[in-house]
Structure 1
Amino acid sequence: MTVRGTWKMNGPVSEKQAEIFVHIPDTGAQTRQAIYEIDTAYGTVRKTINQYAHENNEWVSLGAYRFNGKTPQVSLTNWNDIGTADNDLAWDAAAFVPGDYDLPDGPSVDLKLPDPNSTNPNPDQVNQVPRQLVTRPHGSSTRSALSSANKPESVCGPVQDGRQVCWGPALSKYPRGAESGPSPRYAGDWCDDYALVARATRFTECENRVVPAYLRVDGQTRATATFRFQREVELDGVNSFTEHLTVKPLSIPLDFARIQFGIYKHLCENPCRPVEADPSAWHGEPAWGPGDTHEASITSSYLWDSSVAGKTYKFKPDVQINAILDPSDGSINVQTVGYQWSLDKPTDLDQIRCDTVVTAAGGCVFVNYAPTYTFNAARYPQAAAHAWLLQRNAPNHPGLRSADTPLYYLPGGKSDEDDRNRDVICDEAGWAAANGDPNAMNSSTDRPNCDEFAFNATYNSGGLAASSGGLNPVYSGSECVQTYAAKVDGVIHLYNIGGYAPLWTEVCGRSSISGQQNSGSMSQFGGFIRNMRLTDKDAYWLDTGLSGQCTDGIRSIKCTMTAN
């Protein structure tokens, strides 16, 4: 059924606000998109509805609006915009529901922005904060093969004359009275707190463990020694990386005369090759008796073949540690079979990806650590405020670390060579100019620009179709939260478009802001991609660099923003 023209109420509503619904019958709409126009107290709002998703006798909300003295009405007349003059647009009824929808007499979104500081230095996008959060690339498996082991258990050596030594599993906390403070020879400062967790940046992974060794006699535990292990892996070369292992005893009971450590072997998937250090390379003697608490450490390396261009590899470097225990009763010493790092409390933070794609010479990253791109909010508050608004209020919280909802990088060309995602969100020619405020520009040469969020170069973009892997597909930017920057009494604000309050079910945003601020906010992103070696579907976070003092209504939000 095709219905053209305008549907309206008989007159204004006393509440001055109303929500509008249209009914999509089960008639087999031939056109996917229907664009409705609502004439509000603050201008005309255009709302796009996906008919295919609602063609089962559904009432679909077009949103609530403030009309003041206007008569609520909805029109479907812009045939040329969607090219549907000869196709059916299926709707057969409209409903207007007056009420109080918490729409202020003015903007329902009002973010008061700080004045831009053109000399504020750019954030350091290279030095990333170590974290223990495992954030995998989009679509990757949840666990690597080595870390998919069952619950860690003790690793026991052979029984010799009724005696046996078992290692692990690692303890979840330090034994009572055990020293937990610094500092091993090779660890980075952030790992020196000895928290019993695995943490990483894009190029360094470090983990502290307290591992017990049990002496068993005729199947019964006779004595327990505990050691603090620290293993740090640094991706410090083009085709190589380095492991630093530090061992310190926390307690050795008198039942042991001597405990001696050694590296049994390292492991790494082809074409990665461990280079075993000579036993003489230990710093500090790797042997201890009761009461001895000195540290011993050793550095080993790994090489991988970076000679083939366009290749990507994943490695999980591993180490097996042997020990010889001499009981104090003079009986024969007892050997362990090798404590294997990856099989005790496994983590995927130490999963390494090496490639000759990002750079021909090659390089590596800890692929399950998601780096953070930080806006220069003091210099570009308009772009930062738009992203902040969506991160805080949209249900998918794009790129917000505290919500564990990363952005997933989409390299150029994946969404067609003409930047198709941006074309979907910023779909109307001249939208930014028609909805922007020239007074909010940076300079006389600045122009309003359509800023889309999540970024078009992400799988989170509303413009990326589900068939291409899009996580939040929409058919038009009018389905997104729509805002614009405006200057009022010398202060820049970010307002919502027209008299429409966002439902906060929208999964995307478009905003008419300063073009210079929009492009400037992303000026470091190319370097960020290269430095963090981002490839297709890699996860990353966005730190908007803003905070807000806010008053929230049911549908409205008013904040005074501050650059962090």
Structure 2
Amino acid sequence: MAVQSTASAADTREQLSAPSTSDVSSPLDKERLDNSGSRSGPNEADCKNARERVIRTAGAARSYGCLTWLSPSEGKTALRKGAATGPDGASASAVLDVPLPVNDCTGDEDGYWYATRTMQCQIAPNVKYSYYSSDNKLLGTALFATAQQLDLATNSLQWTETDQITMLSSTGTLPAGLSVSWTTSCSSPCAPGTTKLWTSAPISLGQNLKKTYTLTDQPSTGYDYIDLDYQLSIGSPDAIDLLPPITWGGAEVRCDNKISVADKAGCVVPWYTPTLLIPRSQYGSSADMLEWAQNNLSGHWGLRGTGQPLHRLKNSSQQASNRQAICGTSKFTKDPNIQDDTCDEFPFAGTYESGALNGVDHGKDCAQVTAVRADTSGNLAVDWPTVTPTGTVSGSEKCVRGHIPGALNSDVGSAYGVFVKDKLLADNDPFWLRITF
């Protein structure tokens, strides 16, 4: 994903009049960070306690404002209500059909962080502002949605973040001069360490504040794990803030300078597990062998939903040793009935799941399969599309070894090498494997 131009980093305010979010779809294969929905902040009980304290100690009559964080379920409930009723059951003083802000998380507006390898985003109606009189009477409320998106690149140590906040609805009366302050903190070695998106920026019903800005990793000799943290306050000069600003995190970036891959410097979302796709139409019996092993052997290596991910092994000497253990010339005899027969193994020698790293020192102890010829078209994937087991298979073997036409075997290896570079896999990084058509 290309880094956006910094020319788009200008602060923009716009009245949202876009279609509803149901009209916008995002086809990305996003993964959810499950614990991000548990982020906490001041709630209604905190607001009530703060009001009671200040009323007991206040020396002058003043109005008060409370900014509270809504959980994903509370945000959905607030959005469904649409601010249809105001304080004390009165009709809402101002309600507009205001859409949620839009980014690559459109369709997943539940407050959780989602990611691909080079993108992380969230959208949620998750912030409520409540305005109280000096005698503790609710005068009005406002519901806000936040949206965030980080766009990374595996060939750049810079990335952009786009943050948005929209005032979705209001009820009753709100204080004059309601405004937003938002600060992003980026942990070392990221620069700048602090970005102030808005400082007391006015906001009103239906308005969307949006800003895109650039962040940069200052490369070190190792992997740089960078956390992003955020602070948000909404208030008015006419109301005393009862609670501290809302803070949250959950966004994470990993950058490296030619460590994962010798000729690349870039950044990824480290908790996203990418998937290596191996099409049968291109890799024939080699692809079939991988799928056969995933489905028939107890390891289920890389099979999402059943097995565990595979993990990249970077050390080239160890890779060569793994291949020698399973497919060494003294350990594998070619089959003259297989066109350009070669020894194919799975899990790959370039993974920590290789049989050679898990107690196997000879390929004869792997499950054995052989390619089956189906045609003579000259297209290897068509001519040799499947495999069949040979000998006895218990299902508990720690690897599979196959007689596979050479080009199909080497092409899968090349596909894995390209995948490592494209996804900037570090040593021991997990990945899934899926066989497609």
Give the TM-score category using the shorter length: 0.7 to 0.9
Query: Contact 1:437–1:487 at 8 Å: present in 2 too?
Result: no
| Aligned residue type for 2:342 | N
Given the alignment of the two structures, is residue 240 of structure 1 paired with residue 158 of structure 2, yes or no? yes
- Counterpart in the other structure of 2:309: 406
* CA-to-aligned-CA distance 1:487-541 (integer Å, 9 cap, x gap): 267664411113x2x2222231111111111011232333322221111101111
Aligned to 2:11: none
Q: Tell me which amino acid in the other structure corresponds to 1:152.
A: S
After the TM superposition, which of the residue ranges 511-520 and 403-412 deviates more from structure 2?
A: 403-412
The equivalent residue for 1:304 is: 217
**Matches of 1:531 and 1:267 in 2, distance apart?**
29
Say which SS state the counterpart of residue 403 (structure 1) adopts: coil
**Which residue matches 2:332?**
431
Q: How does 1:73-472 map to 2 (within 5 A)?
A: 129-133=28-32, 152-154=40-42, 161=62, 163-172=64-73, 174-175=76-77, 176-178=80-82, 184=101, 187-188=103-104, 191-196=105-110, 197-215=112-130, 222=138, 224-236=141-153, 238-257=156-175, 259-263=178-182, 265-274=183-192, 276=195, 279=198, 286-288=202-204, 292-306=205-219, 308=220, 310-325=221-236, 332-334=239-241, 337-342=244-249, 347=250, 350-356=251-257, 357=259, 358=261, 362-403=265-306, 405-413=308-316, 415=318, 419-427=320-328, 429=330, 431-434=332-335, 437-438=337-338, 441=339, 447-464=340-357, 472=358
How many Å apart are 1:225 and its aligned residue? 3.1
After superposition, the Cα gap between the structure-2 partners of 1:134 and 1:169, relative to the gap in structure 1 and judged at 3 Å, is closer
The residue type paired with residue 450 of structure 1 is C
- Long gaps (5+) in structure 1: 1-127, 136-142, 442-446, 465-471, 546-563
Q: Would you say the 8 A contact 2:41–2:246 is kept in 1?
A: no
The structure whose RCO (Cα within 8 Å, separation 6+) is larger is 1
After TM superposition, give the deviation of residue 384 of structure 1 in Å.
0.5
Tell whether 2:408 aligns with 1:517: yes
In 2, the alpha carbon distance for the partners of 1:381 and 1:220 equals: 72
Q: Deviations over 1:47-101 (max 9, x none)?
A: xxxxxxxxxxxxxxxxxxxxxxxxxxxxxxxxxxxxxxxxxxxxxxxxxxxxxxx
CA shift in 2, pair 1:181/1:384, >3 Å: farther
Is 1:474 the counterpart of 2:360? The answer is yes
Give 3-state SS (helix, strand or coil) of 1:420's partner.
helix
**Inter-partner Cα distance in structure 1 for 2:180 and 2:278:** 48
Structure 1 distance, partners of 2:202, 2:419, is 41
**Kept in 1: contact 2:332–2:363 (CA 8 A):** no
Taking structure 2 as the reference length, the TM-score comes to: 0.73
Of 533, 540, 549, 2:424 maps to: 533
For residues 134 and 247 of structure 1, do their structure 2 counterparts lie closer, same or farther at Cα, with a shift above 3 Å needed? Answer: closer
SS of the residue aligned with 2:287? Answer: helix
Q: Secondary structure at the match of 2:334?
A: helix
Q: Distance in 2 between matches of 1:296 and 1:403?
A: 43
Provide the secondary structure at the position in 2 that maps to 1:303.
strand
- Comparing 488-497 with 520-529, greater Cα deviation is found at 488-497
| Structure-2 change in CA distance of 1:361 and 1:423 (3 Å) | closer
Q: Give the TM-score taking structure 1 as reference length.
A: 0.58
Conserved 8 A contact 1:312-1:355: yes
Q: What is aligned with 2:8?
A: none
Larger radius of gyration: 1
Distance change >3 Å, CA 422–CA 409, structure 1 → 2: same
Closer, same or farther: CA 359–453 of 1 in aligned 2, 3 Å: closer
Identify, as 1 or 2, the structure richer in helix: 2
Other structure's SS at 1:247 match? strand
Deviation per CA, 1:233-270, whole angstroms, max 9, x where unpaired?
Answer: 1125823222211112233211424532121x221221
CA contact (8 A) 1:286 1:296 kept: no
How far off is 1:213 after superposition? 1.8
Contact 1:325/1:335 (8 A) holds in 2: no
Rounded Cα–Cα distance in structure 2 between residues aligned with 1:512 and 1:479: 15
